[in-house]
Amino acid sequence: MKMNKHLIIGIFLLSMMILLSNLALADTTEAENISVDYEIKDTSIDYTPYREIVVNEPGVVYKIKITNTGTRERDYEIVPNTDIIRNIGTYSINPSDTITLKPGEQETVYLYLAIEKPVTSRTIIPVEIRSGLSETTIDLVARPIGPFQPEQRVSWIVTVFKIILIIILVIIIIIALIFSFRKIRKKKEEEPEEEPMPDFEEDIDTYY
């Protein structure tokens, strides 16, 4: 009777473990079903990847053309990385950052980047394009050309000046060392040779 009791408890615990495993597997499957697909299917995206920031230009424009190549209507949302754009200026999307395309339909949206802050180097702006639970990311590049930022030119001049100053100091030190060695050598050559002392011991011995 006691053995049957332990057997029942063991079967009960085993059943609970199997039940918990099935629940965990169901939760994992559900999570996999709602995961984001990082590639938008049945969609073609054509865009301008690169723009140069020119002196006295207020900003640049990127063209993004989206085509629905599928068999059902799709909604698309264009979401730029605002943290990176905030370091440059502001942006706007025309006609809208959200569009709806029927099968076979295409539309071009324009992302206008207003330059309001100094741009000293090449900047990459990630832009997410979302459709339902799927999304893809494109990179838009902005690069300053010419003397766009005076700060960059001043920094370059300071660097060159430091290099020239270091070279001049090194040359001065080398010249000073050469003159020092020559002076020491000349001084040694001018010193008279010591005359040998007379040998008095031999003279003293001759008197004995």
Q: How far apart are CA 126 and CA 138, in angstroms?
A: 6
Q: What pLDDT is attached to residue 196?
A: 57
Q: What pLDDT is attached to residue 79?
A: 96
- Cα dihedral 181/185/187/192 (nearest 10): 160
Q: How far apart are CA 140 and CA 127, in angstroms?
A: 7
Per-residue pLDDT of the chain (208 residues; tens, 9 = 90+): 444 444 455 554 455 555 545 544 444 333 333 334 457 889 999 999 999 887 677 899 999 999 999 999 999 999 999 999 999 899 999 999 999 999 999 999 999 999 888 888 889 999 999 999 999 999 999 988 765 444 445 566 778 888 888 888 888 888 878 877 777 777 777 666 555 555 555 555 554 4
Residues 73 and 49 in one domain: yes
Residues 153 and 136 in one domain: no
State the residue range of the domain holding 132: 43-146
Residues 6+ apart with CB under 8 A from 81: 125, 126, 127, 128
Strand partners, 67: 44, 106
Residues 136 and 176 in one domain: no
* In-domain check, residue 97: yes
| Phi and psi, residue 85, nearest 5° | -65, -35
* In-domain check, residue 103: yes
Residues 167 and 124 in one domain: no
166-204 exposure pattern, b = at least 16 Cβ within 10 A, e = fewer: eeeeeeeeeeeeeeeeeeeeeeeeeeeeeeeeeeeeeee
